[in-house]
Amino acid sequence: MPWFAGLLLLTGGPILASLFLSFTDFDLLTTPSWVGLDNYARIMDDPHFGNAVRITMIYVVASVPLSGGFALLVAVLLNRPMRGVGVYRAAYYLPSLLGGSVAVAILWRQIFGPDGLVNDVLSAFGIVGPSWISTPEYAIYTLVALHIWQFGSPMLIFLAGLKQIPAELYDAAAVDGAGKVRAFFQITLPMLSPIIFFNLVLQTVNAFKAFTPAFILSGGTGGPADSTLFYTLYIYQEGFGNFRMGYASALAWILLLVTAVFTALAFRSSRYWVHYAD
């Protein structure tokens, strides 16, 4: 089982190492020294911690439902028989292939910059737009927009799910006089609920882990005024920028626990709204 050895060495090893380091004072350059729970105590009175949690929660809460809803909408539209549907599906999937990349984040910086595309369009309507990425109130939402734009992967999964719904159900509903909207809420959504659940969990975990867009958009600072300081970016700054790898490891373990709690909550709630057709 070579893959298992790989998992153990390349993933398990670092995970255990970071657990150990989270109980040490480790500055990257000298030997770690054991400090017990000091790092976890330090988190309690760190003003950046609360801010990073707040920013990350805004990102998760805003981007997961919006991108999921958008992906579902597009999937439903692309599920209808029409000419050249394959081309459309490929075209809509494209941003997901590029989305996590550095190049797109740089492109985003141009689009939402003071002289960017968005403000060019606004100025055509006589509106003078702010510099979206360098104003704390808006910067985080440009990142949310970037996330929504990458709806391709959940869209594909939704599409596969839509194909699984037996056509007889819709035929029967039509015979009974149900309209399109009624059919969507009474048939499509319940039949799709396992897929929705799957996407919800996956997208939530991904949103908690988001790093690249904030790093590129803010030049690694999480600025302006900490408004894009994602939790992962803060971990990176503390560990690699400020020589506090022990503290960064403790922060990383908190993230793991929080993500696990959210996933557990999603699983717990699933019995009330996810319907398995078996």
Partner 1 sequence: MSDLSRRGFLRVGVAAAGALALAGCAGGGGGSGGAASMQFAWWGSTARHNATQQALAAFRKKRPGVQVRTQFSGWDGYWEKLATQTAGGNAPDVIQMDYSYIGEYARRGSLLDLGPYLGKGLDLSGFAKDVVDAGKIDGKQYGVNFGINSMALIWNRTLAKELGIEVPETFTWPEFGELSKKIAEKAPKGVYASEDGAQDGGAFENWLLERGKMFFTPDGKLAYDEKDLTEWFTFWDGLRKAGAAAPPDVQATAAGDVQNSLVATRKAVMDFAWSNQLTAYMSVTKDDIAVHAFPTGDKPGQYYKPSMLLTVSAATKRPQDAVALVNALVSDTDVATPLGSERGVPPSSAIRAALEPKASPSEKLVYAYIESLSDKVGPLPPPQPLGAGELHNKVLMNVNQQVGFGKLSIAEGVSRFFDEAHRVLK
Least Å distance between CB 132 and partner 1? 9
Binding partner 1 (rule: CB under 8 A), the pick from 1, 10, 29, 175 is 29
Residue 28 interacting with partner 1 (CB under 8 A): yes
Q: Which residue has the tokens 């893959």?
A: 3
Question: Contact, 100 vs 184, CB < 8 A?
Answer: no
User: Nearer Cβ to partner 1, position 65 or 241?
Assistant: 241
Q: In the chain, where do the E strands start and end? A: 24-25, 33-34
Question: Contact, 26 vs 245, CB < 8 A?
Answer: yes
Query: Exposed/middle/buried for 156, CB within 10 Å: 0-12, 13-18, 19+?
Result: middle
Residue 120 interacting with partner 1 (CB under 8 A): no
Least Å distance between CB 251 and partner 1? 14
Alpha-carbon distance 257 to 275, whole Å? 28
Question: Contact, 151 vs 202, CB < 8 A?
Answer: no
- Judged by CB under 8 A, the stretch of 26-34, 55-63, 66-74, 92-100 that binds partner 1 is 26-34
Which among 188, 96, 207, 193 is positioned nearest to 143, based on CA atoms? 207
Question: Contact, 60 vs 204, CB < 8 A?
Answer: yes
Residues within window 234-263 making contact with partner 1, judged by CB under 8 A = 236, 240-243, 245
Strand partners, 33: 25
Residues within window 89-118 making contact with partner 1, judged by CB under 8 A = 113-114
User: Nearer Cβ to partner 1, position 27 or 263?
Assistant: 27
Residue 126 interacting with partner 1 (CB under 8 A): no
Least Å distance between CB 134 and partner 1? 4
Question: Can you tell me whether residue 149 is helix, strand or coil?
Answer: helix
Binding partner 1 (rule: CB under 8 A), the pick from 47, 84, 86, 126 is 47
Residue 10 interacting with partner 1 (CB under 8 A): no
The HSE-up count of residue 99 (CA atoms within 13 Å, CB side) is: 21
User: Nearer Cβ to partner 1, position 25 or 70?
Assistant: 25
Binding-site residue total for partner 1 (CB under 8 A)? 28
Binding mask 186-225 for partner 1 (x = CB under 8 A): --------------------------------xxxx-xxx
Distance from the Cα of residue 174 to its chain's centroid: 38
Question: Can you tell me whether residue 34 is helix, strand or coil?
Answer: strand
Least Å distance between CB 103 and partner 1? 15
Residue 44 interacting with partner 1 (CB under 8 A): no
By CB under 8 A, name the binding residues for partner 1: 27-30, 46-47, 113-114, 130-131, 133-136, 218-221, 223-226, 236, 240-243, 245
